[in-house]
Structure 1
Amino acid sequence: MNIALFFRCSGLHCCGGQALCHPATAGDTVMLSLSPSTAIKSGSWAVGESVILTWIGEQQAVFPSHTGRASVNILTGALTLSSVMVADSGVYVVQGSDPQLQANASITVVETISNVTLSVNETNLIEFSGSAVVKCSVSSGSSLSFLWMNSSSEVTASDRVQLTDGNSTLTIVNVTRYDLGPFMCVFNPVSNGNSDALNFAISYGPDNMALTVNGNNSTSFSVGSNLTMLCSAQSNPPALLQWAVRGELVNTTGPLLELFSVSEDQSGPYSCLAFNNHTNMNSTITTNIMISKSGSEQQAVSVAAASAVIVWTLLLKGADVSFSP
């Protein structure tokens, strides 16, 4: 007779036939029942080579290994196991003699996880020059299936990321600023065991500098303008900022350099220098500022100069030149 054996754990239908069933949790009650339902007057249950029980009519005999934990429904032949243990994992076979039939299914029993902990070699690292090694462990649990998460994303192996020791050890080679975390490991499907979150402090930069003048990228300004230069750099910890004008350091630190009522002689290259005392790295950005007279001022100067030339020419010719107030 063709018959399928279904595995029910805690009253839920889990799988059928000879499939590997979803794990049960240690301590659960597990039922193995036949589909389609069949009246079996006599038969036996075994796991591997060990017989669990036999029955004939209303009489059943449970072997010592399962005394108090196993019973059979004498009408349907369904086997019930209570307080299952990891040792109960295996292939279960029902053998019917009236009528004659045989079916089997696999059970996996998993012990719940407790005390999930992470150990790490170092949490303060420098970008591109340090590697992080994180190990995940538990006080108890079985059929461990390690899964690493970085925030809400699963961590997968790559050129820089290594998962070893059955995925229990996570190694990140040459960490970057994007490896801050939080990292955690999770376990088997019946425990939902999570470790505490782990974050790294990664020093990086300074780089990706930017320098704006009066809020934009303009470099040409009129005499008398007020200039506000703002410097920024990506850096952890924040970079120390120093200003230089025409190659000479000035007594101004921080992201802001302000100039009021500028003159033409203040034209030239303005530089912002950034330094990170954790990474011992520095970076510089320079903008060349041109300060000149406005169009109206230049026109007035040109007119005045032209008038002076005319007057001087007339004087040379002996003309009588007078000036009206």
Structure 2
Amino acid sequence: MEKKSEGTLAIILLALIQGFLASGAVEVQPSINPAVVGDTVTLFLSPPASLKSGSWALGESLILTWLGEQQAVFPSHNGRALVNILTGALTLSSVTVADSGVYVVQSSDPQLRASASITVLEPISNITLKANQADLMEFNSSAVATCSVSSGSSLSFLWLNGSSEVTASDRVQLTDGNSTLTIVSVTRYDQGPFRCHVFNAVSNGTSAPVNFTISYGPDNMALTVNDQNMTSLLVGSNLTMFCSAQSGPPAQLQWAFRGEFVNTTGPLLELYNVTEHQSGPYSCLAFNSHTNMNSNITSHIIIAKSPFSGSEQQAVSGRPFPLLLLVGFFFSWLGK
């Protein structure tokens, strides 16, 4: 009677185990995920199970089947797939990107079905950044840079301008899976250096920098007198005027006094032991031969034998320069 009870208990226990396995309690766990191309990946059953027969498939495509100790591997995985009949584990060697997907194991003795997904990625190599053209005109040109790799899969792209991340906006477009950067109507602040950072779950890398040469200006001119904003001097003083302009490439600078050119070019005008007759408007004219644009700034200098009151001092910045002189300045630089 006791032996019969023990036999019945064993049958019930086996039925419970088979029901447990069939209920989906068995899980498939990959040894590596994601895996790198060329790796060996093993798909373990947890808990391990001794399966008398069964099959492994990638999606709907069979990889192998087995019955007892006999295994049949399908051509797609011939020489690369092996099942451990003691544990039900599947080992895949020399995996490729095509081996990514959902793996399904099935058995009828005992009954079970379980699955797991793995991803196989190709490492990134040789990141290259190329620009459509390097020389651009502010507000009139668009910058285009394309990032590519020699190898790599499931790529993500991040763009950098210096140390700042570049994000899409009204002027900035990221296309082709973010591998192409387009900046519409470039400004002087879009010169770079630009880099693209490429990454996936198993590798990453950053390109060499690319810079754009953007011609702009001249504008935002400034004029200082004797390192100050003063415009009144005493007879016998030295007069030093410094002119600056924002310009790319640097602007050509020419000086004029009372509407007539003086024999001085460059940012510095120096006069020594000045007299009252040297009072008047001093102008700095800037010309950019790349943009064909010009700008000017004028300051009225007063030179007297005795100091004037502060109310009599005046400075004129940005006063419109005589048209004929501007035209003459433009053509004089073209003739050089």
Normalising by structure 2, we get a TM-score of: 0.74
Shift of 1:81: 1.7
**Distance in 1, Cα, partners of 2:214 & 2:92:** 52
Correspondence for 1:303: none
Question: Do the aligned partners of 1:41 and 1:56 also contact (CA within 8 Å) in 2?
Answer: no
For the pair 1:220 / 2:235, whether they are aligned, the reply is: no
Q: Which residue of 1 aligns with 2:48?
A: 39
Q: Work out which of the residue numbers 214, 219, 235 in structure 2 matches 1:202.
A: 214
TM-aligned CA deviation for residue 152 of structure 1: 3.2
Q: In the alignment, what sits opposite 1:29?
A: 40
Paired residue type of 1:266? Q
Structure 1 5/181 Cα, relative in aligned 2: closer, same or farther at 3 Å? farther
How far the C-alpha of 1:98 sits from its partner, in A, is 5.5
Q: Does 2:288 align with 1:276?
A: yes
1:248-285: CA deviation from partner (whole Å, max 9, x where unpaired): 22111111111212222322222211111111111112
Matches within 5 A, 1:26-175: 26-34=37-45, 37-42=46-51, 43-55=54-66, 60-97=71-108, 100-175=111-186
User: Which deviates the most, 266-275 or 191-200?
Assistant: 191-200
Give, in angstroms, the shift of residue 160 of structure 1.
1.3
Contact 1:244 1:271 in 2 (8 A): yes
Q: Percent identity?
A: 72
Of residues 100-109 and 207-216 in structure 1, the stretch that sits farther from structure 2 once superposed is 100-109
* Aligned partner (choices 193, 208, 213) of residue 182 of structure 1: 193
Structure 1 Cα separation of the partners of residues 199 and 252 of structure 2? 48
Query: Structure 1 residues 248, 93: closer, same or farther in 2, change over 3 A?
Result: same
> SS where residue 178 of structure 1 aligns?
helix
The aligned residue for residue 330 of structure 2 is: none
Unpaired runs of at least 5, structure 2 = 1-23, 309-336
1:235 aligns with 2:244: no
Distance in structure 2 (CA, Å) of the matches to 1:146 and 1:121? 19
Do residues 244 (structure 1) and 253 (structure 2) align?
A: no
Distance 1:8 1:206, change over 3 A: farther
Matches within 5 A, 1:245-264: 245-264=257-276
Change (3 A) 1:247 1:33: farther
Q: Distance in 2 between matches of 1:186 and 1:294?
A: 66
Are 2:27 and 2:47, in contact at CA under 8 Å, matched by a contact in 1?
Answer: no
Answer yes or no: is the 8 Å Cα contact 1:130–1:173 preserved in 2: yes
How far apart, CA to CA, are the structure 1 residues paired with 2:307 and 2:190? Answer: 54
Aligned residue pair count? 282
Q: Secondary structure at the match of 1:187?
A: strand
5+ unaligned residues in a row in structure 1: which ranges? 15-21, 297-325
Q: Is contact 2:130-2:210 (8 Å) kept? A: no
Cα distance, 1:146 vs. partner?
A: 3.7
Contact map agreement 1:41 1:57 (CA 8 A) in 2: no
1: distance between equivalents of 2:307 and 2:149?
77
Deviations 1:9-29 (A, max 9, x none): 2xxxx4xxxxxxx4x321122
C-alpha distance 185-280 of structure 1, shift in aligned 2 (>3 A):
same
The TM-score, its normalising length taken from structure 1, stands at 0.76
Report the Cα distance in structure 2 between the residues aligned to 1:242 and 1:131, rounded to whole angstroms.
32
Question: How far 1:92 moved relative to its partner?
Answer: 1.2
- Checking the alignment, whether the CA contact within 8 Å between 1:125 and 1:201 is kept in structure 2 is yes
Rounded Cα–Cα distance in structure 2 between residues aligned with 1:198 and 1:212:
36
> Are 1:6 and 2:29 counterparts?
yes
- How many angstroms apart in 1 are the aligned matches of 2:69 and 2:228? 92
Deviation string for 1:118-175 (max 9, x for gaps)?
A: 4433111111111122333444443343443333333222111122233332222111
1:167 aligned partner, one-letter code: N
Tell me what 1:311 maps to.
Answer: none
As a proportion of its length, which structure holds more helix?
A: 2
